[in-house]
A and B are shown apart, each in its own frame.
Chain A
Amino acid sequence: MSGQSDPRGSAFSAAELEFLAEDEMIEIVPNLRIKPLSLICGDFGPFQPQIPTQVPIWLAVALKKRGKCTIRPPDWMSVEKLTQVLEAERDSASSFEALPFHYVEISRLLFDHARDDVPEVYMVRSLIEDIKDVRFHKIGTGLEKLSSRTYAMKLNLSAMEVNVIRPFVTGSLETFYELTAPEIIQESQREEYRRPQTADRGPRRELRR
């Protein structure tokens, strides 16, 4: 089952995280006319030369690869904004600056496929690397404080960061469980019945032909 995530390891493989990030919206500037697209994941277009429009990243990358558009990097992907984020991350030992949940994957996708559309791309890339390092270091320190009394942590973590620590946190709690009284478990069983399920609110979009 290569490529599939191991049920007891990280919940999502790197490829799956990238897949999720590819659904995030981004602005493109087409250089040709394409009729509106009525896709399962939504309606996009019409595409007209020089008129910016919003599309999911996978669509932006597909058009970009074929030379049909330029991609406008999101606001947070500028040297100015990222420098601010990095400074704030370094100044505060515990809090995390707000970056998009998929900032690591989104920036990698743009570096791979739209390098020429990112101003000062080398600088941007190294800033993102630095931010990633600082944050991982902080997470590491934060996890040392994890204990059996930890019921919740509120952090602005990104998708990749959550994915990395998920197996560690579940593993630690499992060990705490083995070492402590079974009260926690009973509580968690009660919790189970209250777990919210995915709300299926029925179709919002008419089926089209």
Chain B
Amino acid sequence: MYGRKASQLLKEFVSGEPGQLTGFNNDVFAQVIEECDGNILHLQALLRKMQEEGSNNQTNKNADHFGALVHHLSLVRNKRCLMAYVYNRAEVIQNLGWTIKHADLPAAVKEKLSISENEYFGKHSSNLQSYMLDLNLDLAVDMVPPKDPYIKVRVLEEIGEVLLSDQIANLAMHSILFLKRIDAESFISQGKMEELTS
């Protein structure tokens, strides 16, 4: 049935995780294009036939007329589906540009993109970069509202004197201190400190 393959592409897109891409389905995509090529051949043949027979398609709506219409509608529908497939994927690719620079794109993501998508990602992310450059402001940071950069921690193990980003601190066991979150995080994950909440 005409149009079925194309809708399969869209179903595949919709069933994926939102914001995630599955591999570009070159195979089914090519089959839909093939269907379109078939449609246009039939359509042209029918139009030619109607012309030769001199039938006026305003007054005389015969089987050929409706046959041509079916091929036209199939083409239009396939086009919508293909456009929707590529466009919706392009939206996901736009979002990627906010978090990853083109050069840093992991191979696992890269192989899911078609050649044109890959190119589009590169262009779009450099467009974004050049906007930020014009403004002299990096918009790819501060994605969530800022919190107090300092947290209260208790030292659980004797660590000793350490050079931190803003101070030299003596991290003696049991002491309670205010440290920058970024400085404290590695100690906390190693179990050498705990964060205190009120």
**Contact, CB under 8 Å: B144 / A114:** no
Note all chain A residues with C-beta closer than 8 A to B198. 64-65, 112-116
For A62, the closest partner residue in chain B by CB is B148
**Contact, CB under 8 Å: B148 / A13:** no
**Contact, CB under 8 Å: A18 / B95:** no
- Chain A binding site: helix, strand, loop or mixed by DSSP? helix
Interface centre among B19, B99, B144 (most CB of A within 10 A): B144
> Counting CB contacts under 8 A, is A66 at the interface?
yes
Interface centre among B19, B148, B198 (most CB of A within 10 A): B198
Q: A1-B95, A113-B198 are in contact. Are A66 and B145 (CB under 8 A)?
A: no
> Counting CB contacts under 8 A, is A203 at the interface?
no
A58 to B148, CA, bound (A): 8
A22 to B178, CA, bound (A): 21
> Counting CB contacts under 8 A, is B181 at the interface?
no
Q: A1-B99, A112-B197, A113-B198 are in contact. Are A19 and B145 (CB under 8 A)?
A: yes
- Chain A 99-129 interface residues, beta-carbon cutoff 8 Å to B: 112-116
Note all chain A residues with C-beta closer than 8 A to B19. 1
**Contact, CB under 8 Å: A16 / B145:** yes
Q: How far is the CB of A73 from chain B (nearest CB, A)?
A: 14
A3 to B146, CA, bound (A): 12
> Counting CB contacts under 8 A, is A139 at the interface?
no
Note all chain A residues with C-beta closer than 8 A to B144. 3-4, 13, 15-16
Note all chain B residues with C-beta closer than 8 A to A157. none
A66 to B153, CA, bound (A): 11
A66 to B198, CA, bound (A): 11
Note all chain A residues with C-beta closer than 8 A to B150. 65-66
Q: How far is the CB of B94 from chain A (nearest CB, A)?
A: 10
**Contact, CB under 8 Å: B145 / A15:** yes
Besides A3-B144, A58-B148, A65-B152, 9 more A-B contacts (Cβ < 8 Å) are: A1-B19, A2-B143, A4-B143, A4-B144, A15-B145, A62-B148, A65-B148, A65-B178, A66-B150
